[in-house]
Structure 1
Amino acid sequence: MKRQKKQYAEGKEETKVKHTKLTLLALSASLLLGASAQAQDSVFVGHLVDYTGPTAFVGKAYGPGVYDAINYVNAHGGIDGTQIELTQLDYAYKVPEALAAYKAWSSRDMVAMQGWGTADTEALISFVAKDKIPVFSASYSAHLTDPQGTNPATQKPAPYNFFYGPSYSDTCRALAQWAAEDAKEKGIENPTFLHAGDNHPYPNAPKEACKAYAEELGMTVADPVVVPMAPGDFKAQCLTIKESGAQYVYLANLGGSVVALLKSCGTVGVEANYMGNVWAGDYVTIEASQAKNMIFPSSTPFYGQDVPGMDLVTKIAESGEFADGGKPTHHYIRGICSAYYMMEAMAWAKENGGITGENIKKGMYAKQDWVPEGLEGVCLPSTWTDTDHRGLMTVAINQGSYDGEVKIERINETTLPRRDDWLGL
């Protein structure tokens, strides 16, 4: 536990996994390896991670999940004999570095990419569509879910973007729904919802969608409060939250920023229900902030829970990042799910014309209510179609508190309607 807390909370310690880490200067040298790799039965996948930037708090949890899962499959025969050549780059959440990495990797016949942030993933939408390279991101922006631009409000069609889990917008809608029901049960006459997060593509992704749905549910929506992603003294923001009278505060940031906000608001006496996005809630954040009854969504069980697929998760973890012990967060498990959906689509592609980006995309549409083999009960049944990349509409809602130890319990689960007007938003 201590090792994990230090690793995720400080954002400075070098992760112990033996990743292939490249600087942009080394990317050009790595291209020389391409010719020899092509002579083997292998395919190339690029992997963007943030281990040293502003989202490293959770990046160092999620990235090893992807890495360990792919290494595990490679060690057990690969994709029906085809090995995945995985190159990982810590781009420190800098969009120009992500774009440069993509440009270098796409020249190596990259067949797919495991991505990370919202700003860079959205910046790459048109590039990956043109190059026909599927991106499996850790950004759950709803802007990535309309492959054909069916919704007139969609900014850009995103035919080659996928992610595992409900979108930021849909999880926020589920939290707003929970809040409206909670307010009704408690007899709150004028429940007020407030968005607290940085002015950045990731925290902003669900802002307008969630505001519209909260108002549709009859809630008052207060003006959003801008909270920087970098930790700081947020008493001024907390006083604004207190003055707004909001009983339900959506935490749109993650990691140290969330910890700092909860502590600052506790200092000035804010009384509200805090609802985090999927990256804002985990046992590390709850312990560091000493949170009480923090609400947050999830799309996997937590490590060690009694579900059939947890055995495979444990084997992957113990063969990689957690070989020396420790406890993964659910972010690590989502990383495993992301990698396995990609790899099963690759297996389908290999049997249907070869492992190319275009065939991997087709493989993502080949099954309905799909769970990767061996991960039953871990990854929830998901469906992607050529008109709708909202793979999962089910949102589990959890409550976490710290009282000498972290306690997390699931308090609700909802499956949202697949509304046409929500596609891409």
Structure 2
Amino acid sequence: MKRNGFLLVVMGLILAACVGQRGGGGPIKVGGLFDLTGATSDVGKPYAEGVQGFVKWLNDHGGINGRKIELLYQDYAYEVPRAEQLYTQFVQEGVVAFMGWGTGDTEALRGRIAEDKIPFMSASYSHVLGNPKEAPYNFLVGTSYSHQFFIVMDWILEDWKARGGSGAPKVAFMHHPSPFGLSPWEQGGQEYAKKLGIEARAFEMPRGATDFIPQLSQIRDFGAQYVVFQTVSSPAAVALKNAKSLGMTDVTFICLNWCADENLIKLAGDAAEGTIGAFPFTPPTVDVPGMKEAREFLKAQGSSLEEKGVHYIQGWITMRVMVEGIRKTIEAGKALTGENIKASLETLTNFDTGGVTVPITFTPTDHWGSKGMRLFKVKGGKWQALTDYLYVK
């Protein structure tokens, strides 16, 4: 009888813990993998601060129907094995959703994410992660790298024609030496360029290089009129300085989103003038309603959105979208499980981010939440809007 009583007590404690996480009033555990000290920490740190900032702001304002978010996170220093270890740890600790970071680790984890049924929003916009057939529990809030590349190729073709260029333009694709760097090229980019009649070649930017003069010399010999960067701001800034020293003033340089930021201008200085950036998330130089809470939160912290930059609002909005899926699940009276949060996210239609992004839509067959972005251009040391929203054709 005593033994049976003990078992009943244990079962009751387990049930109480489950109810606290899934259906009661306890904290909601969300995992986080951030690069705070690794190869992409220059953009990883402000993104992580944006995720953390939104969670604190939300909790300070009552959480989700009175329930607070408990963000379990660590720095994985852009090391895939470490990411896999931490992911396992946080799942064992009961997270019901996850905020990730890099392409290599997110792609490595996607099979386990599907098995564990944990909705996962990464700062990687690798195209495959938006395909539910390949990654059923991954969701992209930002425009995929491939879609960014497609939009940029369309713009390049139109710009080339507007300049009166003859024949097909030549495009050099300079990329980070990682799955992240190759993602838009290998996931449809080179085929799309060929389809448009654009001659494109890929050039790797070696890790740890102090300059990219050898690669830029090859690009000049190739005769490229446009260079597209898929890297972070530090190496892109070095390349822009190198290009200026080589006199490559007739080449248009374009950054996809991870080097289109304030840090690029700070590091490259005058060499950044005229650079074009792909912005799935509106930079703080343009004030939109969706930035209001972040601005007020940072002001109270003695900082500002201008100081933190575009990657901060990127992390903030991504966490906001994940929270919306959690909120919809709770308000529907459903258990707070990964399966139910996934189903709730798949009902988001034209979710308004207040102008920070195009409206976000997910369906059971399409997890590419955003298929549009704007191009900005560096003028007078600031990112200024060059186009309205451009969309995948």
TM-score, reference length from structure 1 = 0.82
Answer whether contact 2:48 2:312 (CA < 8 A) is retained.
yes
Q: In the alignment, which of 312, 334, 343 is matched to residue 323 of structure 2? A: 343
* Secondary structure at the counterpart of residue 380 of structure 1: coil
C-alpha separation in 2, matches of 1:393 and 1:72 = 28
Aligned to 2:296: 315
Cα deviation code 1:105-146 (max 9, x no counterpart)? 111111011100000000000001000001110000001011
* Secondary structure at the counterpart of residue 312 of structure 2: helix
Which stretch of structure 1 is more off in the superposition, 96-105 or 80-89?
Answer: 80-89
Matches within 5 A, 1:149-188: 157-188=134-165
Matches within 5 A, 1:23-34: none
- CA 1:394–1:160: 2 relative to 1, 3 Å: same
C-alpha separation in 2, matches of 1:326 and 1:144 = 30
- CA 1:75–1:260: 2 relative to 1, 3 Å: same
Aligned to 1:199: 177
Question: Is the aligned partner of 1:409 residue 2:385?
Answer: yes
Aligned to 2:194: 215
Matches within 5 A, 1:95-134: 95-134=80-119
Question: Is the aligned partner of 1:63 residue 2:44?
Answer: no
Structure 1 stretches of 5 or more lacking a match? Answer: 1-33, 149-156, 418-425
C-alpha separation in 1, matches of 2:198 and 2:257 = 22
C-alpha separation in 2, matches of 1:253 and 1:309 = 27
Deviation at 1:206, TM superposition (A): 0.3
Q: In the alignment, which of 273, 287, 292 is matched to residue 266 of structure 2? A: 287
C-alpha separation in 2, matches of 1:319 and 1:346 = 27
Answer whether contact 2:140 2:370 (CA < 8 A) is retained.
no
* Secondary structure at the counterpart of residue 296 of structure 2: helix
* Secondary structure at the counterpart of residue 341 of structure 1: helix
Deviation at 1:354, TM superposition (A): 2.4
- CA 1:307–1:326: 2 relative to 1, 3 Å: closer
- CA 1:326–1:299: 2 relative to 1, 3 Å: closer
C-alpha separation in 2, matches of 1:231 and 1:324 = 33
Q: In the alignment, which of 13, 33, 47 is matched to residue 32 of structure 2? A: 47
Answer whether contact 2:130 2:366 (CA < 8 A) is retained.
yes
Question: Is the aligned partner of 1:328 residue 2:305?
Answer: no
Answer whether contact 1:228 1:257 (CA < 8 A) is retained.
no
C-alpha separation in 2, matches of 1:117 and 1:166 = 15
Aligned to 2:71: 86
Deviation at 1:61, TM superposition (A): 1.5
Which of the two has greater helix per residue?
Answer: 2
C-alpha separation in 2, matches of 1:210 and 1:194 = 12
Cα deviation code 1:220-247 (max 9, x no counterpart)? 12x3111124351211111111111011
Answer whether contact 2:103 2:126 (CA < 8 A) is retained.
yes
Deviation at 1:191, TM superposition (A): 0.6
Cα deviation code 1:362-417 (max 9, x no counterpart)? 1111231112xxx422242111111111111112111114x4x4342333431113
C-alpha separation in 2, matches of 1:311 and 1:56 = 26
Answer whether contact 1:370 1:383 (CA < 8 A) is retained.
yes
- CA 1:324–1:180: 2 relative to 1, 3 Å: closer
Cα deviation code 1:85-113 (max 9, x no counterpart)? 11221111000100000011111111011
Cα deviation code 1:58-109 (max 9, x no counterpart)? 1112111111001110111111111111122111100010000001111111
- CA 1:325–1:277: 2 relative to 1, 3 Å: closer
Question: Is the aligned partner of 1:247 residue 2:230?
Answer: no
* Secondary structure at the counterpart of residue 389 of structure 2: strand
Answer whether contact 1:382 1:391 (CA < 8 A) is retained.
yes
Deviation at 1:292, TM superposition (A): 1.9
- CA 1:119–1:348: 2 relative to 1, 3 Å: same
Aligned to 2:12: none
Structure with larger Rg: 2
C-alpha separation in 2, matches of 1:192 and 1:259 = 22
- CA 1:65–1:184: 2 relative to 1, 3 Å: same
C-alpha separation in 2, matches of 1:308 and 1:326 = 15
* Secondary structure at the counterpart of residue 308 of structure 2: coil
C-alpha separation in 2, matches of 1:45 and 1:128 = 14
C-alpha separation in 1, matches of 2:341 and 2:207 = 35
Which stretch of structure 1 is more off in the superposition, 333-342 or 284-293?
Answer: 284-293
Aligned to 2:374: 396
Deviation at 1:185, TM superposition (A): 0.6
* Secondary structure at the counterpart of residue 216 of structure 2: helix
Which stretch of structure 1 is more off in the superposition, 188-197 or 117-126?
Answer: 188-197
C-alpha separation in 2, matches of 1:68 and 1:325 = 11
Which stretch of structure 1 is more off in the superposition, 357-366 or 99-108?
Answer: 357-366
TM-score, reference length from structure 2 = 0.89
Which stretch of structure 1 is more off in the superposition, 405-414 or 204-213?
Answer: 405-414
